[in-house]
Amino acid sequence: MVDQLPSIFDQYKSDINAYLKSGLEQKADPRLNRYKENLYQILTYGMGWTDKLGKPVTISGGKLLRPTLCLFAAEASGGRADKAIKTAIALEYIHNFSLFHDDIQDQDEIRHHRPTIWYVWGEPKAIVAGNVLRSIADVTLTELLNPNIGDSDAVMISKTMTTGYLEMIEGQFLDLSYESRHDISVEEYLDMISHKTGALIRCSMELGAHIGSGDQRVIKAFRESGRALGYLFQITDDVLGIWGDKQKTGKPVGQDIARKKNSLPAVHAMSKSNRKQSALLKNIYSKQNLDQNDVDTVLNIMNTIGTKNYIGSLADKYANSALKSFYSAKVESKFIGKFEEVVQFLLTRNH
């Protein structure tokens, strides 16, 4: 399992964080400071910059995957990263808005080793905070209208991103609708994650290439590469949700089983188990609460039918697909190695 982030994450990290912070500071209404609970204080906590009292902290937060891919794609396709920075920032705001709401819907109490927003401030305020962050993303997109980006390109970028996060929300609805079901096929699950997780990752690569190149052949290659990365990211995430190292993920081994989450391993086990195994799984997942014996039984069934190996093969497939599409864009050789690092990281990451 890989622990070290690829080099491009360090390359763009400081600029991304600076623009993210300045974006929130510019939108914050100073009149709200006189209130004990400040909306923007909740947002900075959610972004990982402050504690519950608004004091600056340094924590191991998100990877900034989507804005990093956007800036990288802009450069790899022949353009400049600074032209894509507003687009990249909007993508990260939207991603975090989705996390604020996902944590409520999944009742997750911990993210990045500390309490989630809804757990600290309650569900209503967490919903409002997420909505505000999404609105800030929309406002950020209006700032694309500048000498570096023409009107038609700005409209296209806004439309592509808005369509992308609509697709993401539709995917989240599908995910919620799959809860407590035992008849989901692997194909249905993969279609769902292509929306929920894949949409913004695909947009990151596609929009970066549009800003950097404008060549439809290149844009298509980056779009398809991003699509494959979306599958790869979620498949690996699902593996970590069951077999991940608690010290790295902040979650106990088998947590997704204990939560009866219909992640890819569970879907595969349900659909590929024999009659006896299937009956046992349905009995376990019908319980209100699962104990450690239940978790161990599910893990044993997954081991017997080769669930982890199957998912590993699927991850390899999408990793190769992402690379093949990227190679087809015929970018400069110096960018190929960097992208291969990203794919390898997503394939073998441990957090």
Residue 248: per-residue pLDDT:
61
Q: Identify whether 266 is part of a domain.
A: yes
The amino acid occupying position 54 is G
pTM of the model: 0.93
Separation between Cα atoms, residue 56 and residue 51, nearest integer Å: 6
Q: Identify whether 202 is part of a domain.
A: yes
Q: Identify whether 178 is part of a domain.
A: yes
What torsion do the CA atoms of 121, 122, 125, 128 make, to the nearest 10 degrees?
Answer: 130
CATH of residue 35's domain is 1.10.600.10
Structural domain count, the chain: 1
Helix, strand, coil percentages (3-state) for the chain, rounded to 5, are: 75, 5, 25
Q: Identify whether 66 is part of a domain.
A: yes
Q: Identify whether 128 is part of a domain.
A: yes
Q: Give the model confidence (pLDDT) of 291-344 as tens digits.
A: 999 999 999 999 999 999 999 999 999 999 999 999 999 999 999 999 999 999
Contact 74, 194 (CB under 8 A): no
Share of the chain above pLDDT 70, in %: 92
Taking residues 57-67, what's their average pLDDT?
A: 85
What residues make up the domain containing 276?
7-348
Q: Identify whether 1 is part of a domain.
A: no
Residue 197: per-residue pLDDT:
96
Q: Give the model confidence (pLDDT) of 160-170 as tens digits.
A: 999 999 999 99
Q: Shortest CA distance to 135 belongs to which of 69, 64, 40, 211?
A: 40
3 state SS of 179: coil
Q: Identify whether 2 is part of a domain.
A: no
Residue 252: per-residue pLDDT:
62
